[in-house]
């Protein structure tokens, strides 16, 4: 609060009662609905713009869009913490409550794989995808053994860039340089096979959507390694920095 929103007058009190009192004094503004529609259209346009993007590694917008196209409305996505969460939270459309779950408050890295395991236990009839960065995936990837042993099929989509992407993004913004955020990955296809499950590697932008559909249709436990181009992070920060809306 104090870092980004300096407080002129602080009010102490019961949160519920304070909000009710504020609501009683506030009046609706039609511009808010207009802004919601404007933002929705901007995000929809962004997804559509990158739908046919053929660059490799894949742009985050392309990955989020292809994932949405591969899924039904009732399917579930468990999204990990990291740079990918910033893109998924902005761009991934949801049509039903609790169809895309994120550890947003605690920001728990490694949430997606065990979260997908739990989701499949609760909703065995629904298709489930765990979406992880390569850093967060390796924190809890051993739970694939549990999923395989218990016969719980879901797809793990790993956004691979060999960095702790969100920390790198913040360092670039704050410091103009990065440090201690790069690491190396195992061969994720062979890693999947070592658990006795299917592994896929995306080698062109056109491969992601059909491989997602193939893996989901197989109804088996699988890992998809997808290289991602996070140079879009800086461009996004610049674009958002030019968006202003008076309160």
Residues 2-18 have pLDDT tens digits of 777 788 888 788 999 98
Cα 176 to Cα 41, 171, 217, distances in angstroms: 32, 7, 44
Q: Is the dihedral of CA 61, 102, 156, 165 positive or negative?
A: positive
pLDDT of residue 4: 76
Q: What is the CATH number of the domain that holds 135?
A: 3.40.50.970
Q: Which of 83, 76, 63 is nearest to 208 (CA)?
A: 63
Edge-to-edge order in the sheet of strand 155-160: 100-102, 76-79, 128-133, 155-160, 222-227, 198-201
Contact 139, 110 (CB under 8 A): yes
Task: Tell me phi and psi for residue 165, to 5 degrees.
Answer: -65, -40
Contact 132, 165 (CB under 8 A): no
Which tens digit of pLDDT belongs to each residue from 132-150? 999 999 999 999 999 999 9
Helices (H), the chain: 15-25, 30-49, 60-70, 83-91, 112-122, 134-140, 143-149, 165-174, 188-194, 208-218, 232-241
pLDDT of residue 32: 67
Q: Mean pLDDT over all residues of the chain?
A: 91
pLDDT of residue 39: 79
d(CA 156, CA 140): 12
Reported as a pLDDT band with limits 50, 70 and 90, residue 151 is very high
Does residue 194 lie in a domain region? yes
Coil vs helix vs strand at 124? coil
Domain with 125, as residue range(s), is: 30-241
Among the ranges given (32-36, 65-69, 116-120, 209-213), the one the predictor scored with the smallest mean pLDDT: 32-36
Does residue 246 lie in a domain region? no
Does residue 89 lie in a domain region? yes
d(CA 95, CA 99): 8
What is the total count of domains within the chain? 1
Residue 247 has pLDDT above 50, yes or no: no
As a whole number, mean pLDDT of residues 92-119 equals 93
Does residue 11 lie in a domain region? no
Does residue 139 lie in a domain region? yes
Does residue 181 lie in a domain region? yes
pLDDT of residue 244: 54
Better-predicted residue by pLDDT, 40 or 188: 188
Does residue 165 lie in a domain region? yes
Does residue 21 lie in a domain region? no
pLDDT of residue 243: 58
């Amino acid at each position: 609060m104090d870092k980004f929103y300096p407080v002129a007058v602080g009010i102490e009190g019961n949160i519920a009662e304070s909000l009710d009192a504020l609501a009683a004094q506030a009046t609706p503004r039609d511009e808010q609905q207009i802004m919601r529609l404007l933002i929705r259209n901007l995000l929809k346009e962004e997804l559509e713009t990158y739908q046919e993007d053929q660059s490799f590694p894949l742009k985050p917008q392309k990955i989020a869009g292809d994932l949405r196209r591969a899924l039904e409305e009732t399917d579930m996505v468990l999204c990990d913490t990291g740079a990918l969460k910033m893109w998924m939270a902005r761009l991934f459309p949801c049509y039903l409550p609790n169809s895309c779950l994120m550890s947003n408050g605690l920001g728990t890295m490694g949430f997606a794989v065990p979260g997908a395991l739990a989701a499949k236990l609760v909703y065995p009839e629904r298709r489930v995808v765990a979406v992880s960065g390569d850093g967060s995936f390796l924190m809890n990837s051993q739970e694939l053994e549990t999923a395989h042993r218990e016969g719980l099929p879901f797809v793990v989509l790993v956004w691979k860039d060999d960095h702790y992407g969100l920390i790198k993004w913040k360092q670039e913004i704050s410091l103009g340089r990065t440090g201690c955020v790069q690491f190396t990955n195992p061969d994720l296809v062979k890693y999947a096979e070592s658990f006795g499950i299917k592994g896929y590697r995306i080698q062109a932008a056109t491969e992601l959507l059909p491989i997602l559909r193939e893996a989901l249709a197989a109804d088996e436990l699988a890992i998809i390694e997808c290289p991602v181009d996070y140079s879009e992070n800086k461009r996004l920060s610049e674009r958002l920095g030019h968006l202003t809306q008076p309160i």
